A and B are shown apart, each in its own frame.
Chain A
């Protein structure tokens, strides 16, 4: 099962299992308070507030905004270039730059570009598609998509210590703590 190893540690980290999201929240907060930075939580359904505890920045909205702007420029640019520069046609005496009419295609390309950015931006920022990930090496992790909550401390965390970290997680009302092999 071993993959390219980025660090010397023989394991990916420790995985704690919870059956209650309150316990997971408490664990995440305790881990942050302890100074862990390389941590991740896994939940069957999105839990608001959890990502903030883990500490990270969500850039999806910024990307989508840029996607929308690109869509507007592309859409209007296309209409303008075709109707004014490339092939100006006199249609009922209307101006070549009939910008009011170009609003509709411009709007549609804005939505199209922004939507594509939202979806592919989310997928790419999430590092997907990812055929292999160490957490799946723990068999019970499959219950994460069912009804269990998981919390992992990565071995590459500067504060990681094989013995202490395991004890820390066990103290957090975890149902179980497992070693996650690479």
Chain B
């Protein structure tokens, strides 16, 4: 059904025949009218059940303690940190799309940045839950913050774990600000288009009285650009700091300098896979394939391919260094990955992250939604396995064979993981329902103009 609207240029970023008015109507219509596809109700319903499961697992954790999870000695980190890193990595693609691609003037980002930013916000929420809950006594989580207290207790600023607190909380705040700032003009559109009183009031309040004044736009664009400029080093710092949680340790498989760049690349890799996972169904169900075009899918597939190779390079360097270092423990760590008790996970990782995405070399498959979905799912799984390998396999056999052990996620581990997936999906579906999933104001800048009337070019002429 999706191919029918594309008659013209296969590389178009916006379907033919769109004007400012049709964009407004189409995107705001999704939110303002009550018509939603059956799939929306089905997915939201199922996801909400899993989100409730999250509530149940957290409740159980509070009452029983983290003993309900799988971690043990020597594997002190399990699903909690695997899922933390997995979710936060997914969030990074949202920032990459909204900030880095904006700075690089990649116009194709415009129709996917809003949903990618929403994905970031919800993914960071899922990520943030884990470190808080894995402290075991989450009601004491404020100990992580530099709050003056009668115990005279302060955070240890030399520890990567406290850097993580600063990095992730800043990232969560800035992601939400970025998302909200982007939404302000669109709230104004919804306010002006709304026919129902409640919509007018709610969107009107969220729009803060935005009235599209030229001076306001100017400050707005400056603020937005600066936010993008600051989010870019921020997102790199966040996953770098996450990788420091490992790299600053002495465990073989953790103690390596390749971690920061390869974690960041892996995060973008995982995030683009998740953007594809979310946007492919959306464009079918909501018929927005004239806004999220085949060209977008093609570009995302290319990013996936490129970051996939950086990740593959990371694995290769890691393996090479194990032998080149001459360290017995490093060498053993690699052999243990290849043929130890977790060999299946490691080989699956190589298959899903390195091998399967290679089908994206074929241009036809980059525009085939089934092939793309297959690869996206493969990477979603692969990146989860990557964190599993890094955390579990490195910890379970370190220096002393007498302290070796095995790890498996408990049923509560799995329940909570499924729960966060449910929470994430529910939140995302509500976003689709109540907020414009594509930036209306930004899309208007892409509408073809009469010759010589580009939005950006005018400025150069008028500026002195």
Contacts and interface: CB of A to CB of B under 8 A. Distances in A.
Contacts of A61: 222, 226
Contacts, number: 211
B230 A122 contact: no
A177 B197 CA distance: 28
B453 A43 contact: no
Interface string A42-77: 111111111111101010110010000000000000
B215 A112 contact: no
Contacts of A116: 173, 177
A79 B215 CA distance: 39
Interface residues of A, number: 67
Q: Is the interface of A mostly helix, strand, loop or mixed?
A: helix
Contact of A51 (B180, B181, B217): B217
Contact of B163 (A46, A52, A105, A119): A105
Interface size, B (range): 35 or more
Interface stretch (A86-94, A154-162, A165-173): A86-94
Interface in B433-464: 441-442, 444-445, 453, 455-456, 458-464
Interface of B: 19-21, 24, 146, 152-158, 160, 162-163, 166-167, 170, 173-174, 177-178, 180-181, 185, 188-189, 191-193, 205, 208-223, 226-227, 230-231, 233-234, 237, 241, 441-442, 444-445, 453, 455-456, 458-464
8 contacts: A47-B214, A48-B463, A58-B219, A101-B157, A105-B166, A108-B170, A115-B177, A145-B185
Interface of A: 21-22, 25, 40-54, 56, 58, 60-61, 64, 78-79, 82-83, 86-87, 89, 91, 94, 98, 101-102, 104-105, 107-109, 111-112, 114-116, 118-119, 121-123, 125-126, 128-133, 135-136, 141-147
Given A25-B458, A108-B170, 18 more contacts: A41-B213, A44-B24, A46-B218, A48-B455, A48-B460, A49-B462, A49-B463, A50-B218, A51-B214, A51-B218, A60-B223, A82-B154, A98-B158, A111-B170, A119-B223, A122-B222, A122-B223, A147-B19
Q: 5 tightest A-B contacts by CB?
A: A48-B459, A49-B462, A147-B20, A122-B223, A130-B209
